[in-house]
Structure 1
Amino acid sequence: MTKKTTLLSLLSAFIMWLAWPPHTWFAPLLFIGLVPLLIALQQIVKTSDKKTGKKVFLTAGLTFLVWNTASIYWVFNSINAVNTGFIGTIISLLVSLIPYGLGALLMTFAFWMYYRLSTYTKNKWAGYTALIAFYISMEYLHQTWDLAFPWMTLGNGFAGMHQIVQWYEFTGVYGGSLWILLSNILAFEAYQQIKHQKQYRLAGIWPLTVLLPIGFSVYQYKNHKEKSVPVNVVTVQPNIDPYEKYESASAHEQLSILTKLSDSIAQTNTEYFIWPETAIPNYADEDRIRSNPDYLQAQQFLSKYKNGTLITGIESVRFYNDKKTLSAKENPNGGFYDNYNAAMQVENSASVAFYHKSKLVPGVEKMPFPKVFSFLAPVFSKLGGSVSGWGWQDEPGVFYAQSGIGVAPTICYESIWGDWVAGSVKQGAQFIAVITNDGWWGNTSGKDQHLMYAKLRAIETRRYVVRSANTGISGFINQRGDVVQQSKWWTRTALKADINLNDEITPYVNYGDLIAKFCVGFAAIAALFILIKKWLIK
């Protein structure tokens, strides 16, 4: 790496960070953010030597490591979330490196694979196609495996300027990733044409690549009409410090705060109350929930609202005679049990429904690859009681009220998974309830990014999003992705709004991440081509 290529690499990282949420108005810089990196890689390849591949890897790695670290620095704040002791702290530190190091490594690997392919083919556009496929495949891998953290998927970058990506209802965020990569490639090639050939053909094509999708999106944004099926909803932000949640107040006192805030703005026709993640902090036995005092207190509150339904976060547990699930842990008193970070639906009836958080934080909430690394269970048990980790469910869920309304319960950073939320919508959810506790991250950009990303789920599904954060930002997002109402940070409050239900299915909900899956197939073929070429050369 020369000084010039290092500076170009860092310039790319700076532009990408500047364009990333919550820096709303700089989002268009994503269309050129990777151009300096492409210039640097070209200079490395031109001065080819035995270490060219290593230089390509290090140069791309520097860009992505700096960009990732600068954009999601707040992940380190969550290390203090549990008192894990020395060993637990070390493991927590290693786990917190997953978003920075592992995410950056996958991005870097995509560019390195592109370099390897370009050494075997003279068709540069075939190489660029493979670059797009490799990169999106790496993003998709980081969404689907046990070390998942898809926070930095390129398409998320437009969350702060959602008006220009209304077509996510067709493509999801991977359409945005494709758009950004293609734009950067064309901008780089246009720069090369102007500099070396004094031609401007691509310089004329590149703006169209950017402007035509924007024009289509703005047209969609201005002409989208929501179906007028209003439901009055109250969302509550109790603002209980997560670091003191289990010591500062009893579960009864915390429930009293939630019910008073709810009562303060509720109407006689309020149909939904949304309370945040782990709002009921005591481990409640799901099989005996109707005799649980916290449940009875919540149902007593709800009895004042004839058509009311409550969706609340709860820590729950189930007991078994044998090991029924992969996550089940041995009970010292005999048998086995699962503990869940769950959502519970309560109505003015005996009906109770549970949803178990499924997209769990690697290491802290779930041991990655539990079948493979089960021998590490004693070490992971130091991470907040995580042996096999929290229990989970394998499919998205929907809460159905007596009224027939379907709701997608979404816990914490599950709202980053477009396909997961879309799965609930496909099953009949008419709006999305995000319950979270963003206080672990403090007053950082993490809470703002999390709110902004929920706007993309609204666009993909054309569903209202109701957000209840214990400490963070609560609010309402309409079907176009507009935040129509939101709370302030570190404020105890409740908000209400009439939201519109929707039961129509968007193409994205119907077909899912087709772009990513197609890229995985193309990337596999390209990787096989590299292996065959390498074998033939030997």
Structure 2
Amino acid sequence: MKNNYLLALLSAFLLWLGWPPIPYSSLLLFIGFLPLLIALENIIRSETIKKKGKKIFLTAGLMAVVWNTASIYWVYNSISAVMPPFAAIVISLIPFCLGAALMALAFSLYYQLRRKTSLLLSLFGLMGFWISYEFLHASWDLAFPWMTLGNGFANFHQLIQWYDMTGIYGGSMWIWLVNILVFVLYLNRKGIYQLRNRLVPILCLVLILAVPATYSLFRYFSYEEHQNPAQVVVVQPNVNPYIKFRISPEEQLNTLFSLSNSVAKPNTEFFIWPETALSQNGDFDEENLRETYSYQRILQFLDQYKNGNVLSGIESYQLYNYAKTTTAREITPHIYQDNFNAATLIDYSSKLQFYHKSKLVPGVEQMPFGAAMNFLKPLFKAFGGTTGGYGKQAEPSVFYAQSGIGAAPVICYESIWGDYVAKYVKKGAQFIAIITNDGWWGNTSGKDQHLQYAKLRAIENRRWVARSANTGISGFINQRGDIVQRTKWWEPAALNQEINLNEEITIYTKTGDIAAYLGLAIALGGFLIIIIRRQHAHLP
């Protein structure tokens, strides 16, 4: 049994090595699950091991916990900065173990299916179960799709130019298909599983590896952007998030103006400022923003750039005379307030545009499952979140400049949802503006992974990404997923770039996560086999 646990740990190590931000290491993902599959096969075929289902779950769970924790260890950094060490560890166990438990569940279902049908069908069922876990973990109130397998190719984006057709779930399928074929060939070589013709899986393996990679490399080196230029500036003010609210709004604005002016050109059209760049003691009332000191200062700044637009993060609120939303809180009798982690577009006209972040961080920005999780409010409040939760809007919205340019205001965490970002593009966004604050995690791989994942959004939609991060890393990513410019970590900086706007719609932008739905269909077929054959087993 110890050898099986060692094999599980080997899988965790290979998968961790293949994960961003380690450059060009993604190829390890193609064999990352092989040691674990061998360990599970040892358990399944053992004549001495009892309670095999439990052993399968524990062995797969060991791999999942180690890989998951090693890849997102930085979650603890953000929590430990505001909580005692023991409490921070307890809270960290939620993201560390919840995703891992769902991964292990996929392997438990594989074991159940394996008892009812053939090896090959069971392995394809496993692929479906895994993609179903990924889809669930991107959809429910505890969503955290950071570890979706297809994200792993962000550090070798030259191989996945076809994400403009399938998105990241196509990458998850690619990884699983290769792992399955390598595992079958291993079993055949060991004499455990007999193949009628060994050349067939070898040929399939070669084709599954070569065809997508060859097409992608051809697409990468032959891709040409249509010349439709726009001047964009991204600003990295480098305000320490833990002391941000001790710094006066005037001082923060002066930093943003100074950095913006240092690289701007007379024809600059967009100045991108990071998440919550506009803040004050008490959030901004959206109805009265024009009357504030900050707004008037921004208009003065734009005097120099008549075509300029400031796209900035802002902490804002709206007031209602009734409980208009589930997140509105009564602050005085018959007056309700909704707070937002938002973005705004300010130009030289009197027009104001707002977008309210929709993909909220569980616990920190919204209370998962509403009333059922009320008992966790004190813990989440200690994490720096809000006990009532931020308001949000159901659908993304596009900011339009006076010139007609459409920008997608993507706030932080939202940038890891490919289908959500694609909705901006379907609505007319010609480039993607990601505004974020990655300083909570410290100088860890979390900030690098977040930057790498933005490359996937550029490829899926064939849109430039302009990324403004408060404490880094800011930069520009072209339509092929190349990082054209980037800042250093924890340094105030600003970058200017001429980007190419794009209006063409990719297959992925049109269709969304079709690959995920295929995985769900495969999983459903596996469930039906388990249920039907279990019922038949109990028939007289």
Same structural fold, with TM-score higher than 0.5 when normalized by the shorter chain? yes
Normalising by the smaller structure, the TM-score range is over 0.9
- The equivalent of 2:535 in structure 1 is 535
> Which residue number corresponds to residue 422 of structure 1?
422
Q: Does 1:276 align with 2:274?
A: yes
Paired AA for residue 308 in structure 2 = G
Matched, 1:411 2:411: yes
Give the match for residue 155 of structure 1.
150
Of residues 117, 126, 131 in structure 2, which corresponds to 1:131? 126
Find the aligned partners of 2:353 and 2:172 in 1 and give their Cα distance.
Answer: 37
Using the alignment, how far apart are the partners of 1:315 and 1:108 within structure 2?
Answer: 39
Q: Distance in 1 between matches of 2:14 and 2:377?
A: 42
In structure 1, what is the equivalent of residue 114 of structure 2? 118
1:346 aligned counterpart, secondary structure:
strand
Give distance in 2, aligned partners of 1:442 and 1:474.
Answer: 15
* SS of residue in 2 equivalent to 1:331: strand
| Partner AA of 1:278 in structure 2 | T
**Residues 326-335 or 254-263, more deviating:** 326-335
Note the alpha carbon deviations across 1:341-372, whole angstroms, 9 max, x for none. 11110000001111111111111111001254
Per the TM alignment, residue 55 of structure 1 is displaced from its structure 2 partner at its CA by 0.6
Work out whether residues 367 and 389 of structure 2, in 8 Å CA contact, stay in contact via their aligned partners in 1: yes
Distance 1:493 1:479, change over 3 A: same
SS of residue matched to 1:24: coil
Match among 232, 238, 259 for residue 261 of structure 1: 259
Distance 1:324 1:21 in 2: 42
Q: Structure 2: state its 5+ residue gaps.
A: none
8 Å CA contact 2:9–2:62 kept in 1: the answer is yes
In the alignment, the residues of structure 1 paired with residue 334 and residue 93 of structure 2 have an alpha-carbon distance, to the nearest angstrom, of 37
Identity percentage of aligned residues: 55
TM-superposed CA distance for 1:388, in Å, is 2.7
Secondary structure of 2:315's partner?
Answer: strand
1:220 partnered with 2:215: no
SS of residue in 2 equivalent to 1:281? coil
CA distance in 2, matches of 1:226, 1:161: 20
Is the contact made by 2:79 and 2:383 (CA closer than 8 Å) also made in structure 1? no
Distance 2:121 2:251 in 1: 63
Give the corresponding residue for 1:389: 389
Residues 509 and 478 from structure 1, CA distance in 2 versus in 1: closer, same or farther, beyond 3 angstroms? same
Question: What SS does the aligned partner of 2:138 have?
Answer: helix
Q: CA deviation at 1:537?
A: 2.7
TM superposition shift of 1:384: 3.4
Q: Distance in 2 between matches of 1:384 and 1:332?
A: 24
Gaps of 5+ in 1: none
Q: Distance in 1 between matches of 2:376 and 2:160?
A: 43
Please give the secondary structure, in 2, of the residue aligned with 1:280: coil
Residues 191 and 376 of structure 1: CA distance in aligned 2, closer, same or farther (over 3 Å): closer
The question of whether the paired residues in 2 share the 8 Å contact of 1:326 and 1:388 is answered with no
Q: Distance in 1 between matches of 2:100 and 2:429?
A: 35
* Deviation (angstroms), 1:218: 0.2
**Alpha-carbon spacing, 1:133–1:537, altered in 2? closer, same or farther (3 Å):** same
SS in 2 for 1:220: helix
Match of 2:184 in 1: 189
* TM-superposed deviation, 1:397: 1.5
Structure 1 residue 297 displacement after superposition: 1.4
CA contact (8 A) 1:410 1:433 kept: yes
- Aligned to 2:312, what secondary structure does the other structure show? strand
Deviates more, 1:97-106 or 1:274-283: 97-106
Matched, 1:174 2:173: no
Larger displacement relative to structure 2 (425-434 or 354-363)? 354-363
Contact 1:234 1:270 in 2 (8 A): yes
TM-score calculated relative to the size of structure 2: 0.95
296-305 or 408-417: which moved more?
A: 296-305
Q: Distance in 2 between matches of 1:379 and 1:194?
A: 53
Check 1:411–1:78 CA distance in 2 against 1; reply closer, same or farther (3 A cut).
same
Distance 1:388 1:481 in 2: 38
Match of 1:64 in 2: 64
The one of 164, 184, 194 aligned to 2:159:
164
Task: Give the 5 Å matches for 1:32-47.
Answer: 32-47=31-46
Q: Tell me, yes or no, if the aligned pair for 2:344 and 2:352 is still in contact at 8 Å.
A: yes
Match for 1:104: what amino acid? A
1:89-111 Cα shifts (integer Å, max 9, x gaps): 84x65543333211111111111
Aligned equivalents of 1:38, 1:469: Cα separation in 2: 40
Shift of 1:124: 2.0
Q: 2:139 corresponds to which residue?
A: 144
Q: Could you give the per-residue CA deviations for residues 26-81 of structure 1, whole angstroms, max 9, x where no partner exists?
A: 21011111000000000000015541111111111111110010111001111146
